[in-house]
Amino acid sequence: MAETYYTIKQLADIAGTSKVTMFRYIKQNSIHETKHKGNANLYDETQKSLILKGFNGKTISDVSETVHDETALIQELKSQLKAKDAQINDLHAIIKQNQRLLDQQQQLNLATNRQNEKLLDGSANDTKQNASESKNMDDTDVSEPTEGNYKGKETKTPKKGLFGWLRR
């Protein structure tokens, strides 16, 4: 019966890993090849079973650690997602409140503007009315005697100057 030999590539395919990973495992565990064929190292059935037994045992523990780490990572990511969802919900509530406040502010501004327009229109009407009343008023001089400012008889003093004699 002919003995079967395996290359690192074939062992890696059997173990379901890469050639580099298989090569490192063999080197770390000081497993020596049975034969050389060209540049390829060949391993017999005994070495194959030793490599696969040790390699598979190692990958199973690595896989279980990896699965455990990934499960913990998934749980952490889920908790972070929940926290982010809560933050988003809080922001939505704040945005809605701010929109309500903005609407109220706009309504108050609109009402204030309307009141200001009414006041301005009223004062413009008052100004027009005052102007028409002042046109109707006599053009009386303030210095003319009225009941409150008349002191009695008016006295004129002759003015001196070149033409003062004309004013007499």
pLDDT tens track for 108-139: 999 999 999 988 887 766 656 655 555 555 55
Q: Indicate yes or no: pTM above 0.75.
A: no
Domain boundaries, the chain: 8-130
pLDDT tens track for 59-118: 444 555 666 677 888 888 899 999 999 999 999 999 999 999 999 999 999 999 999 998
Q: Which residues pair with 36 in a beta bridge?
A: 41
Q: Where is mean pLDDT largest: 32-41, 55-64, 137-146?
A: 32-41
